Amino acid sequence: MILTIDIGNTTICAGGLERDSRGEYAVRFTARMDTVPGGSEEAYLAEMRRLLAASGVQAGAFRGAVLSSVVPALEEPLRNCARALTGTEPVVVTARSDTGLTVDLPEPDKVGRDRLVDAAWAAASCPLPVVTVDMGTATTFNVVDAGRVFRGGVIAPGVATGLQALTDRAAQLPAVELETPRRVIGRTTAECMRSGAVAGAAAMVDGITARIEAELGKPVTLVITGGLARYVEPLCTHPHIYDPDVLLKGLALLYERSTGGSCR
């Protein structure tokens, strides 16, 4: 089993993945902890050990580790945590990693690592062209064309980010919990805000995907993922694949490409 660590702006997600009998990536456990930029390496390691114990996983079960980060200050502390937990040097995803993609962009080094990981898994697993939509702090669209060419995509505020901005900037708008609205037309302020955020995000996914298809001149495979996708995906009307674990599976794929080993 491989330890995968995704360091996001809001949440750090750890997972344990291995190949099942069909050769597909199986997620054996996931655990999340808050991203605390000033947190110490010792605190992160203690929390990861606690989460592993709570999941019934022994550190000795891991044969290797891989991580990606969009928070540069946390890459080294979490890399050290992975090393302490597995006894191996973790694979760290960079712009130079072997993703199997050709990045057709003017500044390829500036593409978010999480976007490359999502795109690598989708390109290896789905009919091309493919669009991944990852819904977290930001909502990112990644476009991979025929020949596994990464064309770029779209970055928009995340669902919770947009709601928080409304609460922060509008004196009479309350804090609202995320959930999938039962109807678009809200009857209370909270319902209206929730509809705007969640139904609005679903409409954005459908609408931007349609515009991407128009620009490419062909239909795409749409993959929806990310921690907040569970609220939005039920309202999306474009045919799609929903898989909340795309990024973890992508990390496992890049581990295998980097090491030549297997997650079995």
Q: What is the pLDDT of residue 248?
A: 96
pLDDT tens, residue by residue, 212-255? 999 999 999 999 999 999 999 999 999 999 999 999 999 999 99
- Domain residue ranges in the chain: 2-92, 102-248
Residue 222 DSSP class = E
Q: What is the pLDDT of residue 264?
A: 66
Query: What would the two tokens of residue 171 be?
Result: 């004196």
pLDDT tens, residue by residue, 37-79? 888 899 999 999 999 999 888 878 899 999 999 999 999 999 9
Question: What Cα–Cα distance (Å) separates residue 264 from each residue in 126, 198, 249?
Answer: 22, 38, 13
pLDDT tens, residue by residue, 102-127? 999 999 999 999 999 999 999 999 99
Is 114 one of the catalytic residues? yes
Query: What would the two tokens of residue 147 be?
Result: 């020949």
Q: Which of 114, 118, 243, 245 is catalytic?
A: 114
Strand pairing report for 64-69 and 2-7: parallel
Confidence band (pLDDT; 50, 70, 90) for 137?
Answer: very high
Q: Do domains 2-92 and 102-248 have the same CATH topology?
A: yes
Q: What is the pLDDT of residue 238?
A: 98
pLDDT at 263 over 80: no
Write the single-letter amino acid at 75: E
Q: CATH 3.10.20.580: does it fit domain 2-92?
A: no
Look at the pTM and tell me if it is higher than 0.85.
yes
The CATH H-level superfamily of 102-248 is: ATPase, nucleotide binding domain (3.30.420.40)
Angle between helices 41-54 and 72-86 (to 10 degrees): 50
Instruction: Give the span between the Cα atoms of 190 and 187, in whole angstroms.
Output: 8
